[in-house]
Amino acid sequence: MTRFIIIRHGLSVYNEARRFQGHLDIPLHAIGLEQADASAKYVLENYKIDRVYSSDLCRASRTAQPIADGLGLPLELDKRLREIDMGLWQGLGYDEAIARFPETERIRKECLGKLRYDGGESYGDVMARVRDFADEVLAENEGKTVVLASHGGTIRALFSSWLGYGPMEMAQVPIVPNASVSVVCIDDGKVTFELRDYTDHLAHVTVTDIE
């Protein structure tokens, strides 16, 4: 059995400002730094970790770094764990993007499976790359426990894939909160969610569910 500990990055500067970030390398907000450290403390106190992986974007890597440092392990970065590429939406405030791309916004609200951000990716693209990464990690880490630090949309795509959903069913899977911890066990192809969207360790800091 391989255990995946999945952590969404802490609150970023753009999360707080309600701006689309996608592949932009946006740092953590001060609250996000607290959240990241709280998540690291929780994971280090409750699990024996063998490897630590992260998106190469700094809001995710800064969330994972305290775990790697606490164990003396390298932080292994991979672009396949990045957030969905939002193309021309990146850097725009929510209201500005919706006004500029009303048809894409309609699709985003009605059916994530049909969404492709203007100049960016679809969730089918994200699902393919994150599942490719997870399958590779699974093959290399039988019997081990690994940390994956990633992003809301990417985690949603991975969970959807593990649950047997395609992009058209992704809306059935809630987006996970910032700095939440989920634990997924995979044994001979069987997927079990041991812990889902856990945030109790963040009781002393602000928790947000902003995308």
- Catalytic positions are 9, 83
Sign of CA dihedral 78, 81, 86, 91: negative
Q: How far apart are CA 196 and CA 184, in angstroms?
A: 8
What are the DSSP calls for 137-183, one per residue?
Answer: HHHH-TT-EEEEEE-HHHHHHHHHHHTT--GGGGGGSPPPPTT-EEE
3-state secondary structure of 90: coil
- Give, in order, the Cα–Cα distances in Å from 74 to each of 38, 71, 121, 177: 20, 9, 30, 26
Which strand (E) or helix (H) includes residue 105? helix 102-110
Start-to-end CA distance of the chain, whole Å, equals 31
CA dihedral 33, 185, 127, 57 (to 10 degrees): 20
Q: How far apart are CA 75 and CA 73, in angstroms?
A: 6
Q: How far apart are CA 83 and CA 163, in angstroms?
A: 20
